C-alpha cells in the first residue's frame, strides 16, 4: 500500500493512520535511514517511508530479513552519523533484544528511534507483552503518545531526546494508535536532512563492548539515566491539569490519559480532580510524580498494558514517604487483560473513589448474520498444499506432528485441515521439530513455514537439523511475498523496499548448501504433483532418518490478481456441471473453498464473485464436475506461478 498522504504538502490538515503520522514525523525531523521487518501493527510505518523514498529518492529505506538485522542496520547508520529509525511489532523486539541492550551502552552519534508497536488484546499476535519493560531493563528512554493525534509530535520529540542524550529511544505505539485514522497537521520536509550520508568515526573504547570497556560505559549509562529522569520531569510532553488542591490525582500514561480524561468526564469529575498526563513513561519523571502526589489522599494510574509507571512510582513514593493510597492495574482496579476501554477504566476509578456507578445496559441488537470463521482466501495456494500433504501423509502411513509457524498458513490450525499442532513464534516450526525429531516415538515432525518466515528465522533451525541429523520434513510455503502483513517483499522475491531489482534467494539453494540431500520444488497449485513429491520426501525421512525439504511455490492469489489487472490479463472463473455433481461434499468439506457453496440437496455452485480462477476444484472433484467458463489464459497460469510485489 502506498500511503501517499505521507508526502502531503506542508501546512495542511490531512487524514492519516497513526502509523503514517509516525512516518511523517520521522520525515519532518529528517531521518536518513529506516529499516523494518513487517509485522502488524507496525507495517504501515515503513510502507509509508518506502513510498516517500521512491518518490523523493531519499531517505534510504529497507525491509530487513528480520527485526534483529533491522535494528542492527539502523543502529549502524546512527553510529555513522545518520538519523535512523527501526520499526517492528512488539514480539519483534524479542528478536532484536541483543543489539538493543548494547545500543544503550555505546550510545549513538545521530538520533536513533526504535518503534515498538505493541498489540494489547492480541489482535494479530501470540502474546500481549508491554515493551516499556524493555526500556526499564535496557536503560533506554521510552516515549508513549497519548493517542494517534499526538503520534507525529511524539516521534519528533523522541528524536530530540535521542539527539540530546546520544541514546536510543523507544517509541511505544499500540494497535489502537497505529491503526486509528486522525487529522494530522503537516510540517516542512527538508530534503537535505533526508540524505543518507554519514561517516563512521572510530572510537574503540565506546563501540567495542569487551568487558573492560563495557564496565566503564555502564557507569555512564546509569548516570545518564538519572539525568534523563530529571529532564523528563520538566518535559512538555508531561503536563498536569485540574485543581492543585485536589485530594485525588489521576495519572494517565500514554493512551491511558485519553481514557482517564473520558472517565472523569463521565463521572462529572473533569476539571474537579488533578489529572497528570505522562508521555515519557520510562524512566518515569519521578520528581514530577512526587510533586504531584505530595499531599494527596489517593493516586490512580491508568495505562495501557502492564502497570509499569504505577509500579515504579510506588517505589518512589515509598522512598519519599508519601502516604497516598495508590491503585490501578497492580491491585485489580483495572484488568491487566486486553486493551484498555472506557468500560474497564470507569468502574475501577469509581470504586476507588467511592462513587456509586454501574455501567449502563447495552442495547440488545439482534443480528442474523451467518457465522464467518476465518478461512484461507479462495484460490490460496496453501489450501492445495494442505490437501495434498494430508493425502501424502495417509499414503505414507506416518503419524505426523505438524509444527506450524506465523503467517496466513496459521489458519491451517482450523478444520478441515487441522495441520498446525504448534504455533509459537517466527521460525518455531523448524526449531520445535528439531527437538521432536529426536524424542517423539513413531512420529514424524513436519515443519510448515512460509517463505518470508524461512528467511527471517528458519535458516538457523534448518542448519541445526542437518548438523544433528534430525529426521523431519520441512515444507516451505513459497507464495512470493510476505502476505499476511500486506504483501511486502523479502529476500526470496528479488525486489527491495525501494522497488529496485536485486538478488533473488531460493530456499532450495540454501538447503542444498546446508547439505540436505532431498530437496524438491513443487507447483503449489498442482495437487497430484505435490502429493507425489510429499510422499517421496516422507519415505526418504523414514528410511534415511535425515531432514528433507520441499518448496511449494505458487503466488498469493491476491497478489496474482493485482498483477493480472495491471497487465490487462483476465482470469477465468469456474462453474459446476450440476448433472455430474454427486453431492459428495469433498470440495466444500475436505477442501473448504469458500467460493464453493452447497445447496439444500448437497450439490454445489460456485460464487463467481468469490472464484479466483485457480482451478484447484477441478483437480479434486472425483467426477470432473468443475469446469472453466472459458479456456484459461496461459498468461494467467504464468502469473499464478510468478507474481510478486512491485
User: What pLDDT is stored for residue 53 in this prediction?
Assistant: 97
Alpha-carbon torsion 339, 21, 6, 42, what sign? negative
Distances (CA, A) of 85 to 26, 133, 232, 368: 8, 20, 22, 47
Of 339, 334, 353, 438, nearest to 119 (Cα)? Answer: 339
Instruction: Average the pLDDT over 476-484 and give the result.
Output: 94
Mean pLDDT of the chain: 96
Q: Number of helices and strands (H, E) in the chain?
A: 22, 22
pTM passes above 0.75:
yes
> Rounded distance, CA 364 to CA 99, Å?
51
Which of the listed CATH numbers 3.40.50.300, 3.40.50.2000, 3.40.50.1000, 3.30.70.20 matches domain 573-630? 3.30.70.20
* Residue 583 pLDDT greater than 70, yes or no: yes
Distances (CA, A) of 371 to 358, 367, 375, 447, 593: 32, 11, 12, 31, 16
Distances (CA, A) of 587 to 387, 594, 621: 11, 10, 7
- The one-character DSSP state at 594 is T
Residue-wise pLDDT tens digits, 464-477: 999 999 999 999 99
> Rounded distance, CA 42 to CA 19, Å?
7
Domain coordinates in residue numbering, the chain: 4-232, 239-353, 381-555, 573-630
Query: Cα–Cα–Cα angle for 128, 131, 134, nearest 5°?
Result: 140
Q: Do domains 239-353 and 573-630 have the same CATH topology?
A: no
Distances (CA, A) of 194 to 26, 30, 55, 392: 10, 5, 13, 54
What are the b/e assignments for 351-382, b being 16+ CB within 10 Å?
A: ebbeeeeeeeeeeeeeeeeeeeeeebbbbbbb
- Per DSSP (E only), the strands in 13-163 are 13-17, 33-36, 60-63, 84-89, 112-118, 142-143
Residue-wise pLDDT tens digits, 251-290: 999 999 999 999 999 999 999 999 999 999 999 999 999 9
Which of the listed CATH numbers 3.10.50.40, 3.40.50.970, 3.40.50.10240, 3.20.20.140 matches domain 4-232? 3.40.50.970
H or E element at residue 184: strand 181-185
**Helix segments in 233-357, DSSP class H:** 255-266, 286-293, 308-320, 342-353
**Fold of the domain built from segment(s) 381-555:** Rossmann fold (3.40.50)
Report yes or no: 349 and 267 within 8 Å, Cβ to Cβ: yes
Report yes or no: 536 and 567 within 8 Å, Cβ to Cβ: no
Which SS3 state, helix, strand or coil, does residue 529 take? Answer: helix
Domain 239-353 of CATH type 3.40.50.12780: no
* Residue 1 pLDDT greater than 70, yes or no: no
* Residue 365 pLDDT greater than 90, yes or no: no
Of 387, 384, 432, 428, nearest to 406 (Cα)? Answer: 428
Instruction: Average the pLDDT over 316-325 and give the result.
Output: 96
Residue-wise pLDDT tens digits, 536-553: 999 999 999 999 999 999
* Residue 2 pLDDT greater than 90, yes or no: no
Residue-wise pLDDT tens digits, 414-462: 999 999 999 999 999 999 999 999 999 999 999 999 999 999 999 999 9
> Rounded distance, CA 19 to CA 129, Å?
19
Residue-wise pLDDT tens digits, 174-230: 999 999 999 999 999 999 999 999 999 999 999 999 999 999 999 999 999 999 999
User: What pLDDT is stored for residue 71 in this prediction?
Assistant: 98
Instruction: Average the pLDDT over 305-312 and give the result.
Output: 97
Amino acid at each position: 500500500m502506498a500511503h501517499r498522504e505521507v508526502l502531503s504538502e506542508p501546512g495542511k490538515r490531512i487524514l492519516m493512520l497513526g502509523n503514517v503520522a509516525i512516518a511523517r514525523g520521522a520525515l519532518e525531523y529528517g531521518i536518513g535511514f529506516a529499516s523494518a521487518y513487517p509485522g502488524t501493527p507496525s507495517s504501515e510505518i515503513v510502507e509509508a517511508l518506502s513510498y516517500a523514498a521512491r518518490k523523493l529518492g531519499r531517505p534510504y529505506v529497507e525491509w530487513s530479513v528480520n527485526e534483529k538485522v533491522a535494528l542492527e542496520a539502523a543502529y549502524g547508520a546512527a553510529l555513522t552519523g545518520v538519523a535512523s529509525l527501526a520499526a517492528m511489532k512488539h514480539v519483534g523486539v524479542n528478536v532484536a533484544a541483543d543489539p538493543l541492550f548494547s545500543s544503550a551502552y555505546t550510545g549513538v552519534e545521530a538520533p536513533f528511534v526504535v518503534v515498538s508497536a505493541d498489540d494489547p488484546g492480541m489482535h494479530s499476535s501470540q502474546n500481549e507483552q508491554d515493551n516499556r519493560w524493555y526500556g526499564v531493563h535496557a536503560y533506554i528512554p521510552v516515549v508513549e503518545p497519548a493517542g494517534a493525534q499526538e503520534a507525529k509530535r511524539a516521534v519528533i520529540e523522541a528524536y530530540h531526546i535521542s539527539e540530546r542524550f546520544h541514546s536510543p529511544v523507544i517509541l511505544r505505539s499500540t494497535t489502537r494508535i497505529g491503526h486509528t485514522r486522525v487529522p494530522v497537521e503537516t510540517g516542512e520536509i527538508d530534503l537535505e536532512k533526508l540524505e543518507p550520508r554519514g561517516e563512521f568515526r572510530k572510537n574503540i573504547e565506546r563501540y567495542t563492548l569487551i568487558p573492560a570497556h563495557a564496565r566503564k560505559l555502564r557507569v555512564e549509562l546509569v548516570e545518564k539515566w538519572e539525568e534523563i529522569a530529571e529532564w523528563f520531569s520538566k518535559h512538555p510532553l508531561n503536563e498536569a491539569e485540574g485543581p492543585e488542591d485536589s485530594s485525588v490525582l489521576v495519572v494517565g500514561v500514554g493512551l491511558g490519559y485519553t481514557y482517564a480524561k473520558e472517565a472523569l468526564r463521565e463521572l462529572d469529575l473533569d476539571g474537579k480532580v488533578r489529572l497528570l498526563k505522562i508521555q515519557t513513561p520510562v524512566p518515569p519523571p519521578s520528581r514530577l510524580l512526587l510533586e504531584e502526589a505530595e499531599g494527596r489522599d489517593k493516586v490512580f494510574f491508568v495505562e495501557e498494558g502492564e502497570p509499569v509507571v504505577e509500579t515504579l512510582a510506588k517505589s518512589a513514593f515509598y522512598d519519599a514517604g508519601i502516604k497516598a493510597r495508590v491503585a490501578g492495574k497492580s491491585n485489580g482496579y483495572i484488568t491487566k487483560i486486553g486493551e484498555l476501554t472506557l468500560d474497564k477504566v470507569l468502574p475501577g476509578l469509581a470504586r476507588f473513589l467511592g462513587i456509586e456507578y454501574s455501567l449502563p445496559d447495552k442495547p440488545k441488537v439482534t443480528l442474523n448474520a451467518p457465522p464467518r470463521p476465518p478461512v484461507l482466501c479462495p484460490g490460496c495456494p496453501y489450501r492445495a498444499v494442505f490437501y495434498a500433504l494430508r493425502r501424502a501423509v495417509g499414503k505414507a502411513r506416518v503419524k505426523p506432528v505438524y509444527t506450524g509457524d506465523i503467517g496466513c498458513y496459521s489458519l491451517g490450525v482450523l478444520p478441515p485441515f487441522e495441520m498446525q499442532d504448534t504455533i509459537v513464534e517466527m521460525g518455531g516450526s523448524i526449531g520445535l521439530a528439531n527437538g521432536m525429531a529426536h524424542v517423539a516415538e513413531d512420529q514424524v515432525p513436519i515443519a510448515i513455514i512460509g517463505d518470508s518466515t524461512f528467511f527471517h528465522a528458519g535458516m538457523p533451525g534448518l542448519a541445526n537439523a542437518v548438523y544433528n541429523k534430525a529426521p523431519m520434513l520441512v515444507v516451505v510455503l513459497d507464495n512470493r511475498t510476505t502476505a499476511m502483513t500486506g504483501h511486502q517483499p523479502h529476500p526470496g522475491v528479488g525486489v527491495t523496499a525501494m522497488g529496485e531489482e536485486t538478488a533473488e534467494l531460493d530456499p532450495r539453494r540454501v538447503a542444498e548448501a546446508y547439505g540436505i540431500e532431498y530437496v524438491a520444488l513443487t507447483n503449489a497449485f498442482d495437487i497430484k504433483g505435490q502429493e507425489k513429491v510429499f510422499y517421496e520426501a516422507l519415505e526418504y525421512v523414514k528410511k534415511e532418518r535425515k531432514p528433507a525439504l520441499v518448496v511449494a511455490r505458487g503466488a498469493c492469489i491476491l497478489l496474482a490478481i493485482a498483477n493480472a489487472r495491471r497487465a490487462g490479463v483476465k482470469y477465468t472463473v469456474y462453474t459446476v456441471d450440476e448433472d455430474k455433481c454427486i453431492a459428495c461434499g469433498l470440495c466444500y468439506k475436505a477442501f473448504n473453498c469458500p467460493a464453493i457453496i452447497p445447496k439444500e440437496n448437497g450439490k454445489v455452485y460456485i460464487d463467481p464473485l468469490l472464484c479466483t480462477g485457480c482451478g484447484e476444484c477441478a483437480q479434486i472433484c472425483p467426477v470432473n464436475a468443475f469446469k472453466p467458463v472459458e479456456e484459461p489464459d496461459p498468461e494467467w497460469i504464468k502469473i499464478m506461478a510468478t507474481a510478486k510485489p512491485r
